[in-house]
């Protein structure tokens, strides 16, 4: 009898430890969110943990004073808490189809409520444990498959989610195997005690990892800001150097440089706001051709660069020409009437034995100035076989 009492004390201690740990984590998350409101997934995590804390406190009370209504509330809070944590994982990973988690969980909660109202509280616990197991498994799978930043942190999240899912699954399996369809009290077995210990450890670990993920996301966003041109949203010169500064440019790589024709005159006549609009319009045109192997950058002012990989010289020239033609059809409305602008382009190519970004940029720049001398509003490709003083050029 004394041993049973000691076990109950230990069980109660685990529940209270879980509630205290969860409360501290939730407060920390709320504090982080107040200082960084854009980190909405942190707020969702804080709300989810707070719901689970309420579940633990009420479960502790239910273990001493069981009642059917309290049982329903306890089980609903458990499912709702882990559903909220699952939604926070979707927010962080950019998974927008929330229905895949919400609809099955709501359906399971309805089944649980129906079974519990009929006196089958054991069935209610089994259904809820199965729901939580599924939600935690979904979290683990999403971080395993979709995570693309620091794999070490994401794999630990997957592992902890999996361990926690297994512990809840064991709780449901014990009730199912023993056929405990009607309990009348809170379930108390080896799986429940194991689950309490595992849940405290895993939730504490997941809370700490959430802080790491927030820090990681903040670093990624800061890096993105430093490598993004604020006016056009394209990558900037720093990004070009970071991504291609050490790249060896082979025969199927090329760089196209673009320079908006008479852009200074556009600013002088129509004003800088119109000039900015023209720059954004060209960025929109060049962005249409950005895809895997084609990256667009704004170097500054009216200068843009397109890096093209895994394509022939003819294909690269075709893309650059299409950009030039497409931009020539763009019309910007101004107070002085509609404004059409043109762009000149020059293309430099990689070498069979490999060459550097600087060399290809120099070739593209030379071809660009040749396009300007030829009358602008055209694309010129550098000819490696030509002499420097008499280049053989192709023009649009």
Of residues 192, 302, 313, 363, which has the active-site annotation? 302
Q: Which helix (H) or strand (E) holds 348?
A: strand 343-349
**Among all chains, which residue has been given the structure tokens 């633990």?**
56
| Alpha-carbon Rg for the chain in angstroms | 31
| DSSP calls for 232-265 | T-SEEHHHHHHHHTT--B-TTEEEEEEEETTHHH
Is 313 catalytic? The answer is no
* Distance separating alpha carbons of residues 111 and 150, to the nearest angstrom: 39
> CA dihedral defined by 197, 201, 202, 207, rounded to 10 degrees?
140
Computed from CA positions of residues 3, 6, 10, 16, in that sequence, does the dihedral angle turn out positive or negative?
Answer: positive
**Among all chains, which residue has been given the structure tokens 């709501």?**
106
* Distance separating alpha carbons of residues 77 and 316, to the nearest angstrom: 58
Query: What six digits make up the tokens of 101?
Result: 């988690």
Which string of b and e fits 15-40 if b means at least 16 CB within 10 Å?
Answer: beebbebbeebbebbbebbeeeeebe
Pairing label, strands 394-395, 379-381 = antiparallel
* Distance separating alpha carbons of residues 141 and 138, to the nearest angstrom: 5
Of 309, 303, 392, the residue nearest 350 (C-alpha) = 309
Q: DSSP state, 185? A: S
* Distance separating alpha carbons of residues 135 and 146, to the nearest angstrom: 16
What count of Cα atoms within 13 Å lies in the side-chain half-sphere of residue 47?
13
Q: Which helix (H) or strand (E) holds 300?
A: strand 294-300
What Å distances lie between residue 210 and 153, 200, 205, CA to CA? 9, 15, 9
Of 315, 388, 380, the residue nearest 348 (C-alpha) = 380
- Residues forming the active site: 302
């Amino acid at each position: 009898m004394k041993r049973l009492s000691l076990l109950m004390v230990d069980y109660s201690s685990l529940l209270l430890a879980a509630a205290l740990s969860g409360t501290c984590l939730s407060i920390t998350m709320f504090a982080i969110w107040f200082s960084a409101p854009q980190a909405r997934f942190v707020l969702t995590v804080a709300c989810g943990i707070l719901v689970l804390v309420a579940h633990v406190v009420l479960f502790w009370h239910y273990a001493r004073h069981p009642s059917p209504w309290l049982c329903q509330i306890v089980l609903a809070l458990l499912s709702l808490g882990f559903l909220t944590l699952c939604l926070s994982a979707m927010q962080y990973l950019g998974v927008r189809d929330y229905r895949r988690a919400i609809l099955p969980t709501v359906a399971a909660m309805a089944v649980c409520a129906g079974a519990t109202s009929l006196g089958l509280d054991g069935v209610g616990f089994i259904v809820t444990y199965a729901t939580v197991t599924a939600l935690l498994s979904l979290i683990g799978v999403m971080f395993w498959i979709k995570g693309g930043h620091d794999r070490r942190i994401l794999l630990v999240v997957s592992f902890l989610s999996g361990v926690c899912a297994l512990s809840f699954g064991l709780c449901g399996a014990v009730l199912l195997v023993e056929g405990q369809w009607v309990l009348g009290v809170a379930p108390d077995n080896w799986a429940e005690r194991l689950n309490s210990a595992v849940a405290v450890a895993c939730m504490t670990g997941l809370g700490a990892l959430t802080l790491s993920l927030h820090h990681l996301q903040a670093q990624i966003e800061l890096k993105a800001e430093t490598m993004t041109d604020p006016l056009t949203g394209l990558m900037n010169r720093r990004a070009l150097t970071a991504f291609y500064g050490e790249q060896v440019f082979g025969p199927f790589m090329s760089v196209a440089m673009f320079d908006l024709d008479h852009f200074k005159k556009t600013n002088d006549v129509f004003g800088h706001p119109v000039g900015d609009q023209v720059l954004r319009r060209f960025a929109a045109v060049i962005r249409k051709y950005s895809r895997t192997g084609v990256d667009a950058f704004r170097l500054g002012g009216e200068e843009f660069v397109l890096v093209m990989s895994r394509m022939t010289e003819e294909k690269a020239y075709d893309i650059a020409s299409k950009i030039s033609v497409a931009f020539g059809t763009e019309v910007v409305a101004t107070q002085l009437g509609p404004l059409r602008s043109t762009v000149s382009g020059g293309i430099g190519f990689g070498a069979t034995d490999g060459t550097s970004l600087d060399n290809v940029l120099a070739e593209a720049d030379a071809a660009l100035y040749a396009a300007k001398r030829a009358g602008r509003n055209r694309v010129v490709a550098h000819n490696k076989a030509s002499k420097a003083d008499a280049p053989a050029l192709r023009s649009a």
